[in-house]
Amino acid sequence: MSGVVWLALDGVGHPQDAPGGSVWDQPLGTLRPLVDAGRCLDATLGVPGLPQSGTGQACWLTGSDAVALMGEHFGPHPGPTLQRLLQEGSLPVRLARAGGRAALGNEYVPAYFQALESGAGRRNRMGCFPFAFRAAGLPLNPPRVPLLGATLGLGYARPWSAGGEERAALDALARHGGALARAARDVDLLALDLWFSDLLGHAGAPDVPGDALAAGQSYLRRVDALLSGLLGAGARVVVGSDHGNLEDLRTKGHTLARVPFAGAGVNLGQPGNVVEAGRVLAGWFGLPGA
Ligand SMILES: [Zn+2]
């Protein structure tokens, strides 16, 4: 059986908690039906404050309540406490220990490694996903995986969208999805840390910037194309998010929105929050809940 491809969106709240005219308010022929058929998860875990990437992703990756461990929502990058949690109990680590095969399909550019090195000895600037895969002894930019840039072809900074080139980009992403589906046949888990949605979400403002909305809409169309390629090639797929942000561009920061948990070829179960969803994920690989 093919491995599971995990599209780990960053900062994309569920459409049910998005205001009218949001990035979700457009035709997304593959992504939207999948999300609508999936679950709607709490990301606050009953703790005040806005959910953050460090604790949120650690919940997904470990099935442990990382927010309770920290006593607060913390991020974006895991500090020493969350690093220990990820080293001991994250899905890539536990899979590797059990003889399973996992890969992180993100493409990391040379500037990323340079930034990590220049920050050596200072605060960790590696997100939970790359940190957890490295903790499992797995390389970033693994060979034999068609690596995917998390911007999905958009520019890193304004103006994000080149405009006029989207059709070709969507076709390329659908083909890339097919290639990832084929690569997933050789592993148990193939994760993609799609952090760019959170970056776009931070461009929000009370008077919603038109270019941020357009880029956010385009980003979801690109996820939709990637997903259609994955599903068309028979991949088992899970889609989740760590917290809300992009779904409400009226605010610059994260939101309290619930987050999607959707999938194809997997049993989603009935989790109510991101910790329980992390346990469901682990269960697919025969790993016990945290
Ligand atoms: Zn995040």
- Ligand 1 mean position, distance from CA 138 (Å): 22
Cα–ligand 1 centroid distance for 1 (angstroms): 31
Report CA(11)–ligand 1 centroid distance (Å): 5
Centroid of ligand 1 to alpha carbon of 76 (angstroms): 7
User: Which protein residues have a CB closer than 5 Å to ligand 1 (ion)?
Assistant: 10-11, 53, 198, 242
- Give me ligand 1 centre to Cα 56, in Å: 7
In the reported structure, the alpha carbon of residue 137 is separated from the centroid of ligand 1 by a whole-number distance in angstroms of: 24
Write out the chain's pLDDT in tens, 290 residues. Answer: 789 999 999 999 999 999 999 999 999 999 999 999 999 999 999 999 999 999 999 999 999 999 999 999 999 999 999 999 999 999 999 999 999 999 999 999 998 998 888 876 566 689 999 999 999 999 999 999 999 999 999 999 999 986 678 999 999 999 999 999 999 999 999 999 999 999 999 999 999 999 999 999 999 999 999 999 999 999 999 999 999 999 999 999 999 999 999 999 999 999 999 999 999 999 999 997 65
Per the listing, tokens 């969208």 go with 161
Which long-range contacts (C-beta less than 8 Å, at least 24 apart) are formed by 15-21? 15/247, 15/260, 16/40, 16/258, 17/244, 17/247, 17/255, 17/257, 17/258, 18/247, 18/248, 18/257, 19/247, 19/248, 19/250, 21/208, 21/213
Domains and CATH numbers, the chain: 4-43+100-266 (3.40.720.10)
